[in-house]
Each structure stands twice: as structure tokens, then as C-alpha cells.
């Protein structure tokens, strides 16, 4: 049956002991499965066990509080929101919630995020979690990935997976197994992701949920940015984009850890000196997932890490200032 594609683990939810590379998360085909566990690392080719952090997953397989606790804040995103390579206390969802609670509130946050995940996947998982737990958050805050990520059925039709498309000439003819990057125009990825965001905005507005979303991608032109501002009420431009080098979407060729600092540190930080009380932390500029371990395909001497606590603090402050400003 055609609809059977939706009974084949559409979120690629797998036991973490079996695979660390696929995204783990809500398995709507097996809702009674308890994925609760704790792992010392997520990526074996870029992380080593450290006392500073671990990954604790709730029973749905998310690095999050339990959704049955009805968290007032739900955050959406990819590996950045997931906090790969960081203690959860150093991630923007946690810092943002702490800023909200500084006024005396006791909000909890639920985190729906996937390493390598697309906008489409995150939004679909959000709706599934809302439906399963019948919850209504007060705030939904999203730090979405680039629009080139495309959530689509696998080439052997065994589930839905995330693909990263790039602009290239489309093939007129193709044979299985298909390479979707040669068949699906990149415009389709942009259209589909924006349609999912439109549905998310409509849903939140109809229920009185405050939604704010942005994207860390550096691939937006001024024209594209203006389009988002004019057509999406909940969109806010990422103010950190101009304060940091575009280190998310471009290969980082560093010979040692000191060179990573030059790449990932805030521009002109010596003059700004913000959050200086945290600047001595090892994960201030970049996350702990910089180790080049056996099997790492990177050609550099160190791995390409994620952004550190400092940028996460600025993302959290960006959302919080916009929220209280309204």
C-alpha cells in the first residue's frame, strides 16, 4: 500500500546503541518504545568522553525534558539546537529559558532537534509530539538550519530521510537507485521548507502560541532575507550572522586547536569583550566535538566543530530581547 511509507519509522528513530549517525527521535510507529538513556558521546569521529557533558535523552529519544510534563517552551532546530558537543546548560534553548525565568517564572523547555535534520522534519515532529501529548506550549522558538535540506523518502522506500541538495543541472533521465540531488531542483527544497514554516505559523497563531523563528544559514541573499521579513510574521533575522564568520556551511581547514579559535571566535572580540566571565571555558568559542578520531573523513588535523557557548548565548539573547520587546 502506498501509505505504508508512513509505517516505516519515518523519523529514522533507531536505538542509539545500534547507530549514532542517524537522527534519533520520536517514533510515531512505536509510541510505547522508551528511548530514555544517557550517552557520553554522540559522534564517535569527533568526540571523546569528557566529564563536562553527556547526552541525556527522554523516553521519546530527544535531548529534552519529558513532553508529558507539558513544557511551556518548545525549541526546534538541527544539531545546533540539539547542542552537539556542548553541555546542555551551554546551549541556546537552556540559556533562553533561563533568561525567561530570570523574572521569577519556572518554565521548562522541550527540545525537538535532529543532528543533520531539516526544517520539514523538525516541524513534522513538532506536530506529532503536540498530537501525542495533547500539549500547548506558550512559546515555540526555532533556530532552523539551511533551506537546502530536504526531507523525502529514501531511494529504497524504507522511510523518510534528510538530504542536502545543491544547485546543479537536473538530469532528464535517471535509473534506480536514484540520486535525488540530480532529480529534485533545489527550489523544491526551499518551497517545501517554507510551506512547513507557513503551516507552523498558522498553527501557532490560531492557538495563541508565541512563535519566533530564525535561521543560522549564511546562504541568504539580501533579497531572500527581505522576502522572509515581508512574508513571515514570526521571522527575525539572525543578528549573530554578521558577528561571526560563516563557519557552519564551509569546510574548516585548521591544523590545530589554536587555529579553530581564530575561525570560531566572535569578530573583534578583543574590543567587545562580552561575556568575559565565561571566556576561559574550553567550549566558549567552539564545542567539544573538534577531535579527529579514527574514521573521521576530514582532511584537516582537527575536526570541524559546532559553535561554542558564546554564540549560543547571543542566540538566546536575540530571541529573548525580541520576545520581551514585543
Distance from C-alpha of 142 to C-alpha of 199, rounded to nearest angstrom: 14
Lowest-confidence pick of 12-16, 55-59, 198-202, 253-257:
12-16
Domain range annotation of the chain? 2-240+309-325
Biggest alpha carbon–alpha carbon distance for the chain: 62
CB 89 within 8 A of CB 312: no
Kindly give the interhelix angle for 309-325 and 92-101, rounded to the nearest 10 degrees: 40
Count of C-beta atoms within a 10 Å radius of residue 38: 9
How many Cα neighbours within 13 Å face the side chain of 284? 15
Task: Determine the 3-state secondary structure of 110 from DSSP.
Answer: strand
Provide the pLDDT confidence category of residue 61 given band limits of 50, 70 and 90: confident
Q: What is the pLDDT of residue 183?
A: 80
Q: Which residues of 137-162 are buried (b: 16+ CB within 10 A; e: fewer)?
A: bebbbbbbbbbbbbbbebeeeebbbb
**pLDDT, mean of residues 249-267:** 84
| Closest by CA position to 68, among listed 77, 76, 60 | 60
What φ, ψ does residue 320 adopt, rounded to 5°? -65, -45
The separation between CA 223 and the C-alpha centre of its own chain, rounded to angstroms, equals 24
Q: Where are the alpha helices (DSSP H) in 3-144?
A: 79-82, 92-101, 119-133
| CATH level 3 topology of 2-240+309-325 | Rossmann fold (3.40.50)
Distance from C-alpha of 307 to C-alpha of 38, rounded to nearest angstrom: 22
Lowest-confidence pick of 36-40, 282-286, 302-306:
302-306
| Residue 82 zone, left/alpha/beta (φ > 0; ψ -120 to 50; rest) | alpha
| Closest by CA position to 129, among listed 225, 65, 50, 183 | 65
What φ, ψ does residue 39 adopt, rounded to 5°? -125, 145
What φ, ψ does residue 76 adopt, rounded to 5°? -125, 145
| Size of the chain, expressed as the number of residues it contains | 326
Q: What is the pLDDT of residue 240?
A: 95
Q: What is the pLDDT of residues 22-47, one digit of tens each?
A: 334 445 556 566 788 899 999 888 89
pLDDT at 7 over 70: no
What is the radius of gyration, based on Cα positions, of the chain? 19
Amino acid at each position: 500500500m502506498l501509505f505504508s511509507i508512513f509505517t516505516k519509522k519515518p523519523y529514522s528513530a533507531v536505538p542509539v546503541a545500534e547507530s549514532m549517525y542517524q537522527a534519533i527521535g520520536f517514533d510515531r510507529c512505536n509510541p510505547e518504545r522508551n528511548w530514555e538513556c544517557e550517552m557520553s558521546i554522540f559522534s564517535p569521529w569527533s568526540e571523546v568522553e569528557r566529564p563536562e557533558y553527556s547526552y541525556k535523552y527522554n523516553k521519546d529519544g530527544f535531548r529534552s525534558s519529558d513532553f508529558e510534563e507539558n513544557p511551556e517552551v518548545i525549541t526546534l532546530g538541527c544539531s545546533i539546537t540539539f547542542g552537539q558537543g556542548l553541555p546542555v546548560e551551554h546551549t541556546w534553548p537552556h540559556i533562553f529559558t533561563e533568561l525567561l525565568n530570570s523574572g521569577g517564572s519556572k518554565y521548562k523547555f522541550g527540545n525537538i532537534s535532529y543532528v543533520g535534520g531539516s526544517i520539514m522534519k523538525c516541524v513534522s515532529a513538532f506536530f506529532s509530539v503536540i498530537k501525542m501529548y495533547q500539549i500547548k506550549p506558550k512559546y515555540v522558538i526555532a533556530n532552523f538550519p539551511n533551506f537546502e535540506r530536504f526531507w523525502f523518502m529514501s531511494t529504497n522506500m524504507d522511510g523518510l530521510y534528510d538530504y542536502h541538495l545543491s544547485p546543479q543541472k537536473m538530469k532528464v533521465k535517471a535509473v534506480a537507485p536514484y540520486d535525488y540531488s540530480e532529480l529534485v531542483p533545489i527550489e523544491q527544497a526551499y518551497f517545501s521548507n517554507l510551506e512547513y514554516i507557513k503551516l507552523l505559523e498558522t498553527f501557532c497563531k490560531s492557538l495563541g502560541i508565541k512563535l519566533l523563528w530564525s535561521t543560522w544559514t549564511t546562504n541568504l541573499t539580501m533579497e531572500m532575507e527581505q522576502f522572509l521579513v515581508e512574508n513571515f510574521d514570526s521571522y527575525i533575522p539572525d543578528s549573530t550572522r554578521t558577528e561571526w564568520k560563516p563557519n557552519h556551511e564551509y569546510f574548516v581547514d585548521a591544523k590545530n586547536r589554536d587555529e579553530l579559535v581564530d575561525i570560531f571566535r566572535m569578530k573583534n572580540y578583543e574590543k567587545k569583550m562580552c561575556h568575559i566571565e565565561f571566556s576561559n571555558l574550553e567550549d566558549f568559542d567552539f564545542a567539544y566535538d573538534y577531535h579527529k578520531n579514527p574514521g573521521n573523513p576530514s582532511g584537516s588535523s582537527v575536526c570541524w566543530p559546532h559553535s561554542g557557548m558564546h554564540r549560543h548565548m547571543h542566540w538566546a539573547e536575540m530571541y529573548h530581547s525580541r520576545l520581551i520587546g514585543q
